[in-house]
C-alpha cells in the first residue's frame, strides 16, 4: 500500500524510482511519501501492533485501511472483501458494521452525554433510541463507568474519557478494532491500568485489533505481531520475541535494547542447544521437571534461582530440545546483547 501527499500523487507514483529515498522525492517533487510500499496480513482475533516514531507514517497507514485517508495505491482485504475498491455506500456500511476506531485524543463529542457518545455508532446505523441506549448501557458497564452515563465528557478525567472512547468503539461490535495511540495522552499509571484492562477485555471479546503506538514497551505488551515503521516503510514484522531476539537492523535494535529481554524472550529462544549430557540425565531421571520452549524467561526465574543445575527445555511434544541455566537467565536481564 502507498500513500503520497501532494498535488499530483498519481503522477509521482507512476514515475517513482523504487530506490529513491523519501527526502529525495520530497526535495525533487514536493510530494511527501507517507506510506511506502507496505504490506502485511493479520490473523483473525490477533492484536497487530504498528509501532513507529512520530512521522513514520503509522497513523496514515491505519487511516488508509479504513479510508479516512484515501490510499494512493494498494488494497485492503477483509476476508474476501476489498475495502479499497468499495463505493461510498458500501464503505459506510463497512464502517458502520465491521470496523471501529479509538482515537488518540478520545474524539468524544462534547455536546453529547457519555451514553449518547457510546451510542453514536448505533445511532448512525439507524437503531431505535431505546435499543441503542440499552446496548450502550451494557458496554458502559463493561468498561466500568456505570453511573456516569448522563455526564458530559468534559466532566470526566482523561482515563475515563478514553474508556468512553473504547466503549464507543466496542458498542458497535465490529470485526476489527483500530486503536490510534489510544493511551499516549494518559498519565503513565493510568496508561498501564488501561493496557491491562484492554488485555482483559480482549480475552473476553477476542476481536481483531490493529493497535498503533510509539511506545515500544506498549507494543511488546499488547501485540501478537508487531510491525515497526520508519519513514513510511515497514522495517520489520514479527512477534515481539522475534523482534527483540533478532532485531533486523540498528534502528530496531535501539528500541529492543530498552526492553528487559527476559520479559519478552522465551526459553526456546535462549536455551543452549543441545542440552548437555548432565541435563539429559537429569531429565530422564525426572521427566516432570522441565520448561516449555514457549515459557517466558521471566516465568522461569523462580525455578532457575532455586536450581543449581541447568533446567531442561522441551518442545511441544515433550521432546528435550535444550537447557537453560542461571548464567543464561542472568545474561538475558542485561538489556544489551
Residue 66 in the binding site for other proteins (CB under 8 A): yes
Which range touches other proteins (CB under 8 A), out of 90-98, 133-141, 186-194, 297-305? Answer: 90-98
Among 7, 14, 19, 110, binds other proteins (CB under 8 A): 110
Residue 78 in the binding site for other proteins (CB under 8 A): no
Among 21, 54, 92, 246, binds other proteins (CB under 8 A): 92
Q: Shortest approach of other proteins to residue 107 CB, angstroms? A: 4
Which range touches other proteins (CB under 8 A), out of 118-126, 202-210, 294-302, 328-336? Answer: 118-126
Q: Shortest approach of other proteins to residue 201 CB, angstroms? A: 19
Q: Which one, 108 or 235, has the nearer CB to other proteins?
A: 108
Residue 7 in the binding site for other proteins (CB under 8 A): no
Give yes or no for a contact between 94 and 71, defined as CB atoms under 8 angstroms apart.
no
Q: d(Cα 103, Cα 43) in Å, to the nearest integer?
A: 23
Q: What residues numbered 208-267 form the site for other proteins, per CB under 8 A?
A: none
Q: Which one, 119 or 235, has the nearer CB to other proteins?
A: 119
**Phi and psi torsions of 212, nearest 5°:** -100, 135
Among 172, 304, 311, 321, binds other proteins (CB under 8 A): 172
Give yes or no for a contact between 70 and 64, defined as CB atoms under 8 angstroms apart.
yes
Among 53, 78, 105, 202, binds other proteins (CB under 8 A): 105
> What phi-psi label fits residue 115: left (phi over 0), alpha (psi between -120 and 50 degrees) or beta?
alpha
C-alpha cell at 123: 445511532
Which range touches other proteins (CB under 8 A), out of 71-79, 103-111, 212-220, 221-229? Answer: 103-111
Which range touches other proteins (CB under 8 A), out of 74-82, 115-123, 259-267, 322-330? Answer: 115-123
What x-and-dash track marks residues 132-171 binding other proteins by CB under 8 A? ----------------------------------------
What x-and-dash track marks residues 21-60 binding other proteins by CB under 8 A? ----------------------------------------
Q: d(Cα 230, Cα 245) in Å, to the nearest integer?
A: 19
CA distances to 63, 115, 238, 289 from 86, rounded to whole Å, are 15, 31, 30, 56
**Phi and psi torsions of 46, nearest 5°:** -95, 165
Q: Shortest approach of other proteins to residue 40 CB, angstroms? A: 21
Q: Which one, 125 or 331, has the nearer CB to other proteins?
A: 125
Residues written for the chain:
337
Among 13, 42, 53, 68, binds other proteins (CB under 8 A): 68
Q: Which one, 131 or 316, has the nearer CB to other proteins?
A: 131
Residue 111 in the binding site for other proteins (CB under 8 A): yes
Q: Shortest approach of other proteins to residue 92 CB, angstroms? A: 4
What x-and-dash track marks residues 119-138 binding other proteins by CB under 8 A? -xx-xxx-------------
Instruction: By CB under 8 A, name the binding residues for other proteins.
Output: 66, 68, 91-97, 99-101, 103, 105, 107, 109-112, 120-121, 123-125, 172
Amino acid at each position: 500500500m502507498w500513500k503520497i501527499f501532494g498535488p499530483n500523487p498519481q503522477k509521482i507514483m507512476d514515475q517513482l524510482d523504487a530506490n529513491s529515498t523519501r527526502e529525495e522525492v520530497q526535495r525533487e517533487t514536493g510530494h511527501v511519501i507517507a506510506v511506502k510500499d507496505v504490506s502485511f496480513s493479520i490473523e483473525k482475533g490477533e492484536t497487530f501492533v504498528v509501532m513507529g516514531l512520530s512521522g513514520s507514517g503509522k497513523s496514515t497507514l491505519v487511516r488508509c485501511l479504513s479510508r479516512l485517508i484515501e490510499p494512493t495505491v494498494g488494497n485492503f482485504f477483509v476476508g474476501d472483501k476489498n475495502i479499497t475498491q468499495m463505493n461510498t455506500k458500501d464503505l459506510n456500511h463497512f464502517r458502520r458494521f465491521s470496523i471501529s476506531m479509538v482515537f488518540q485524543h478520545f474524539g468524544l463529542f462534547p455536546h453529547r452525554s457519555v451514553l449518547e457518545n457510546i451510542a453514536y455508532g448505533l445511532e448512525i446505523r439507524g437503531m431505535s433510541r431505546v435499543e441503542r441506549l440499552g446496548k450502550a448501557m451494557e458496554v458502559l458497564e463493561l468498561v466500568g463507568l456505570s453511573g456516569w452515563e448522563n455526564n458530559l465528557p468534559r466532566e470526566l478525567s482523561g482515563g475515563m474519557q478514553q474508556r468512553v472512547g473504547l466503549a464507543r468503539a466496542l458498542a458497535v461490535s465490529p470485526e476489527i478494532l483500530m486503536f490510534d495511540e489510544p493511551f499516549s495522552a494518559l498519565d503513565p499509571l493510568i496508561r498501564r491500568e488501561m493496557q491491562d484492562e484492554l488485555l482483559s477485555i480482549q480475552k473476553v471479546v477476542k476481536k481483531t485489533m490493529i493497535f498503533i503506538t510509539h511506545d515500544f514497551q506498549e507494543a511488546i505488551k499488547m501485540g501478537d505481531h508487531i510491525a515497526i515503521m520508519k519513514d513510511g516503510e515497514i522495517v520489520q514484522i514479527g512477534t515481539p520475541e522475534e523482534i527483540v531476539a533478532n532485531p533486523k537492523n540498528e534502528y530496531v535494535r535501539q528500541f529492543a535494547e530498552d526492553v528487559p529481554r527476559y520479559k519478552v524472550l522465551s526459553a526456546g529462544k535462549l536455551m543452549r542447544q543441545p542440552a548437555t549430557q548432565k541435563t539429559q540425565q537429569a531429565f530422564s531421571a525426572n521427566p516432570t521437571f522441565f520448561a516449555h520452549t514457549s515459557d517466558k524467561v521471566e516465568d522461569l526465574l523462580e525455578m532457575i534461582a532455586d536450581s543449581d543445575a541447568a533446567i531442561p527445555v522441551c518442545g511441544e511434544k515433550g521432546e528435550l530440545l535444550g537447557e537453560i541455566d542461571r548464567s543464561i537467565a542472568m545474561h538475558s536481564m542485561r538489556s544489551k546483547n
